[in-house]
Chain A
Amino acid sequence: MDLAAFAQEVGGVADGPVTITGTSSRGGGVPGVRCVEAPGGIEWIQADEMIVSCGAATLVEHLDAELRAVGQCVALPPAGTVGGALAVGQSGVRRLGYGPVRDVLLQAHYVGAAGSIVKAGGPTVKNVSGFDLCRLLVGSRGTLGFIGAVILRTRPLAAASQWYTTDADPWSTHALLYRPVSVLWDGVTTWVLLEGHPDDVGEQAAKAGLAAVSAPPPLPAVSRWSRKPGDLRALGGTGRFVAEIGVGIVHHSQPAPPRSLEPAAVALHQRIKRQFDPTGRLNPGVELHHV
C-alpha cells in the first residue's frame, strides 16, 4: 500500500481543487474536479485482536469475504469501498445489533489539504490518546481529508443468523426479543434478523411467533430519513417506507424533509473546515451543514 504516492497525487494547496472516488456507489467524486483514488488492499487481518488493516479503496465485499474466512465481519454496509463507507458514514440495516459505522474506525491515515499524511487514532480496540479525529472523519465526506488507510474493529460472525417476519406490532416484537440485530417495518409487516446460538435464535423466534423468511424486504431508495426511534410510529401516511425500529433510519420513497443546523453550529462547521482545508480544495462544493 503506497500512502506516499497517494499523498503526492492529492498534492498540496498549489495543486488546486481535488476530489476522490472509489466505485461511485455512493455518488462518486465532485464533477469537473481533478479526481484521485485511494490505495486498496488488505494489509493484514489479526483475528485474535479483532482488527483488520486495509487501504481505503478496498472493496467492502472483498473485506467481508476475507474476514468471513476467519469467522469475523465488519459493521460496514455491503457496497462500494471501505473509504467510501467511512466517508459517508451511513450504516447498514444491521445497525441495531452491530452499531453505527462511526464506531468501527480505530485508526486512519488520511491525506490533509496540505498534502501531508496524518494519523488519527490508534491501533488498539481501546484508546483515548488525544482528540478523537476518527469520529470526526467518519461522515465528513472527504471535506477534511482523504482517507488512505485504516485499521477497523471486527466482530465475530454469529453461529446462526436468520431473517423472520411477523404481522405483530414491531415495538412489542422488539420488546420481546433480546438484542435483535435488525427490526424492519413497512407500516404493515415486521421483519426481524436474529443472530446467536442456534437454540437461542429458535427459542426467541418461537417466543415472538416469528416465521422464517429468506431475506429482508427491498428498501425504497429515494431517500433516507433520520428520526428519533420513538418517533417512527408517526410515519403512517408519509408514503412507502421501510423503517429501522430501535434505530430511526427510514428508507423512504419520498424525499426527506429538509433539515438545517443552528447558526452557531454552522459557524463551528466553518471554523473546522477552515482549520483543516483553508483554501477549500478538498471535495469543493460538498457542504455538510445543510441539506
Chain B
Amino acid sequence: MTSLVAALRAAIAPDRVRIGAAELSLYRRDASNFDGNASVVCFPITTVDVQAVVRVCVEHHVPFVARGSGTGLAGGATPLDGAVVISLTKMNRILSVDPESRQAWVEPGVLNLDLTKAVQHHGLHFAPDPSSQQSCTIGGNVANNSGGPHCLADGVTSAHILAMEVVLPEGDIITIGGQDPEPLGLDLRGAFVGSEGMFGIATKICVRLTETAPTVRTMLLDFESVEDGASTVSAIIADGMVPAALEMMDALCTRAVEEYVHAGLPIDAAAILLVEVAGLANGLEHEVERIIAIGKAHGARTVRVAQDEAERALLWKGRKTAFGAIARIKPNYYLHDTVVPRRKLPEVLNKVYEIAERHGLLVMNVFHAGDGNLHPLLVFDKREPGVMDRVHAAGDEIVRVSVAAGGVLSGEHGIGLEKRDYMPLMFGPEDLAAQAALRAAFDPTGLANPTKVLPSPSACGDVQHVPEGAWI
C-alpha cells in the first residue's frame, strides 16, 4: 500500500478508499472515447471527507479528479497520470426544498431527474434536462454547465445555480453565490459553473427551481429537405417566439429512432422538427397556429400536434432515445457538440454531410436546432481497421467548419480533453491567458483536474493532438 493510500485511509473511512483493479478500471474513463488511469478511487460522504481527500492529494502532490456519474462526453472526468478519482455519487441527498423561494439545496451526487421528481408536486422542476438526465448528477451539470432541449427558453445550468459550498483545490471550504439575488463580491458562482472540476469541488448546491407551465403543446413537422427544416427554425425565432424546445432529426436518425421506439415518425422525411411550446392557453394556441403557418410556408409536408400526454411522451421518447437507437446501426459513435448561428444551420449541415461522405462515414444529426447546437454523430465500428483515423479527421473538419461559420466549440458538453487543443481556434493567446489566470487564482497548485480545457501554452495558435497519457 502506498503512502498516498495509507494517508487517504487515515483521512476518511478506509473502506471508502478503493484500489481494486476492477474499480480502478471502471473509473479510468467517462462516457467519452478517452481512457486514462486512476491510482485510487475515493467515495466521500461529507464535505469534510472531500476536504480531507483534497488535502491528502495536495500534501502528496497528486492530481485529483471529481466525478459524478461519468456521463460526460468530452473526457472531463477522465483521470490522467494516476490521479485520485473523487466520486461524489454517495453524496446524493436532497437537503432541503423551499417552494416559496423556489430553491433547493442538494448534494452533488443527486441525479438530475430525481430532483425534478422530488419537487414536481410543488409545480416546480429543475430546468436543465440533458439527454442523460436519468443518470447524470447535478454536480456534473455544474461542472459542465450542462444544457438540454428545454434550455432554449429557460437557459443552461448556469442560470439555475444560485449558490454552492465548494472545497477549493487547496482544501478551504467556502460558499459562493447566495440564496439572495445580489450576493456580495465577484460572481464566483458564475465562474465556477462550467469549470470542469478545475476550480474545486462543489459539495452542496443551491439550485433555482422553475415553475412548470400549465399547458404544453408538442408538434412534429416533417420536411423534404434539411434546408426547409433549418429555415423554419430561423423563421420561428425571427417571428418573436422562443419555444420551450426546438429539436431536429435528419432522415437517417429518424429511421433509426422509428425502428427503435415505433412512435409513428415519418421515415421518408429528410428532416423532422420537434417543437414544444409551453405557457398559458391563449398564447399557446396563437403560437401553435403561427408555427404551423411558418412550417407550411417553409415546405412542411405534415404537422402532427400531440393530442395527449401519452403521444407527447412518445414523441419525446423518440428524441431522447436517439443515441440508443443509433447503437443498432453501428456499435460506436463519436458525437460533436458545436454551435453555429441558426441562420448558418443549412450551410453547415450540408458541409457536415459532405465531410462524412468524403471520409466514408455515416453521419446522423439529432440536435438542439433552436439554439443552433449541432450534434453530428459519426457512427462506426471501431473494429474496422483505420476507421478511427477517419472519424478524427472528419470530426476535426466539422469543428473547424462550425467555428469558421461564426460558431463555438461546444454548446453543452464542455471542452475536457476532447476539444482542449481546439481552443486556439476560438481564442487568442491573450484570451487563453485570462482563462488560465482565473484557473490559477482558484487552483494555485494546479492539482484539480489538470491538463483539461486549456491547451498548454506551446499549443497556442496551433491545433495539436490528443494529450499524452490518454488514448482513444
Query: Which residues in A have some Cβ–Cβ distance to B below 8 Å?
Result: 46-50, 71-72, 89-91, 95, 99-100, 102-103, 112, 116-120, 122-136, 138-140, 144-145, 155-157, 159, 171, 178-179, 196-200, 203-204, 224, 226-230, 244, 246-249, 259-262, 264-265, 267-269, 271-272, 274-276, 288-291
Contact = CB atoms under 8 A, between A and B. Distances in A.
Contacts of A247: 181
Contact of A91 (B181, B371, B373): B181
Contacts of A116: 430
Contacts of A178: 211, 213-214, 279-280
A126 B151 contact: yes
Contact of A132 (B101, B184, B194, B341): B194
Given A112-B434, A271-B444, A179 B211 contact: yes
Nearest to A117: B430
B438 A228 contact: no
Interface of B: 98, 100-103, 144-145, 147, 151, 155-156, 158-159, 168, 172-176, 178-191, 193-195, 198-199, 211, 213-214, 234-235, 237-238, 240-242, 279-283, 286, 339-343, 368, 371-373, 406-415, 419, 423, 426-428, 430-435, 437-442, 444, 453-454
Contact of B408 (A49, A72, A117, A124): A124
A282 to B, nearest CB: 13
A39 B214 CA distance: 45
Contacts of B442: 268, 271
B187 A138 contact: yes
Contact of A289 (B173, B184, B339, B430): B184
A87 to B, nearest CB: 12
Contacts of A271: 440-442, 444
Contacts of B439: 131
B157 to A, nearest CB: 9
Given A131-B191, A140-B186, A247-B181, A124 B341 contact: yes
A264 B167 CA distance: 11
Contact of B174 (A171, A198, A268, A288): A268
From A200, A228, A264, A291, name the one whose CB has the most chain B CB atoms within 10 angstroms.
A228
B372 A129 contact: no
From B102, B280, B368, B428, name the one whose CB has the most chain A CB atoms within 10 angstroms.
B280
B102 A229 contact: yes
Given A102-B187, A120-B434, A248-B180, 15 more contacts: A49-B237, A89-B182, A91-B181, A91-B182, A120-B431, A129-B427, A132-B158, A140-B187, A156-B240, A200-B283, A229-B102, A249-B182, A262-B175, A264-B172, A269-B186
B415 A133 contact: no
Contact of A229 (B101, B159, B433): B101
B168 A125 contact: no
A144 B342 CA distance: 32
B184 A129 contact: no
Closest 4 CB pairs of A and B: A135-B190, A197-B283, A48-B238, A199-B282
A269 B282 CA distance: 48
A12 to B, nearest CB: 13
A99 B439 CA distance: 27
Given A196-B280, A203-B282, A288-B184, A48 B191 contact: no
Nearest to B195: A131
B435 A139 contact: no
Contacts of B441: 268, 271-272, 274-275
Contact of A71 (B155, B240, B372): B240
Nearest to B213: A178
From B159, B187, B372, B431, name the one whose CB has the most chain A CB atoms within 10 angstroms.
B187
B280 A204 contact: yes
Nearest to B176: A265
B423 A261 contact: no
Contacts of B145: 128, 132
B283 A123 contact: no
A126 B368 CA distance: 10
Given A275-B438, A289-B185, A129 B409 contact: yes
A200 B281 contact: yes
B349 to A, nearest CB: 16
Contacts of B410: 127-129
Contacts of A259: 184
A135 B158 contact: yes
Given A122-B408, A197-B286, A268 B453 contact: no
From A47, A131, A227, name the one whose CB has the most chain B CB atoms within 10 angstroms.
A131
A48 B180 CA distance: 34
B408 A229 contact: no
Contacts of B453: 130-131
Contacts of B168: 264, 268
A271 B175 CA distance: 16
Contacts of A136: 186-188, 190-191, 438
Contacts of A125: 339, 371-372
Contacts of B282: 197-200, 203
A257 to B, nearest CB: 12
From A47, A99, A124, A200, name the one whose CB has the most chain B CB atoms within 10 angstroms.
A124
A174 to B, nearest CB: 9
B190 A228 contact: no
Contacts of B372: 124-126
Contact of A228 (B180, B188, B411, B428): B180
15 contacts: A48-B238, A100-B181, A123-B408, A124-B341, A125-B339, A130-B423, A138-B190, A140-B186, A228-B103, A229-B101, A262-B174, A267-B172, A271-B444, A272-B186, A289-B184
B175 A230 contact: no
A99 B159 contact: yes
Contact of A227 (B180, B184, B280, B408): B180
B280 A226 contact: no
B172 A128 contact: no
Nearest to B206: A228
A132 B199 CA distance: 12
Contacts of A50: 237, 242
Nearest to A137: B187
Nearest to A51: B341
A211 to B, nearest CB: 20
Contacts of A155: 242
A119 B425 CA distance: 13
A267 B169 CA distance: 13
Contacts of B414: 128
Contacts of B454: 130
Nearest to A107: B408
Contacts of A46: 341, 343
Contacts of A272: 186, 438, 441
